[in-house]
Amino acid sequence: MQSISGIVYLIIIACLLPYVFAVVAKMAGGFKREDNQNPREFLAKTTGFAARANAVQQNSFESLPLFIAAVLMAEYMVIPQVVVMMFGIAYIVLRIIYGICYLANWATLRSIVWMLSLLCPICILLMVIKLT
């Protein structure tokens, strides 16, 4: 059985990334303690940079299930850990770049980076399929 510590770190980092963008959205939107009564309503009313940071947060949560499933299935099917780590690190780096592009309002580059980040778990899953 492979050592899964690297895989666990990938999952933890990927899971924490949306919260980083949530904090950015709240700080940029002027979040106050009283806004914590209904933070989703507060974030839904933000505009500009804060709204884009909230969108990154939401999209980051949306991409998590595919990534986590791919990594766990790769571990189960004993895909070489170096390969899983390579695609996992690429996914995380691309998701960070995606967030930066979103915050900077670089729509075309953001879409390209989004597609590249999506390809990382898809490639892992294709390797899993090949082994079955």
Domains delineated in the chain: 5-131 (1.20.120.550)
Task: Give the list of residues 6+ apart from residue 121 with CB closer than 8 angstroms, or none.
Answer: 66, 67, 69, 70, 71, 87, 91
**53-98 confidence digits (pLDDT tens):** 999 999 999 999 999 999 999 999 989 999 999 999 999 999 999 9
* 122, containing H or E segment: helix 107-131
How much is the pLDDT for 55?
96
Task: List all residues 6 or more positions away from 118 whose beta carbon is below 8 Å from its beta carbon.
Answer: 63, 66
Q: Residue 1 pLDDT more than 50?
A: no
pLDDT tens track for 15-38: 999 999 999 999 998 888 777 788
pTM over 0.85: yes
pLDDT given at position 89: 97
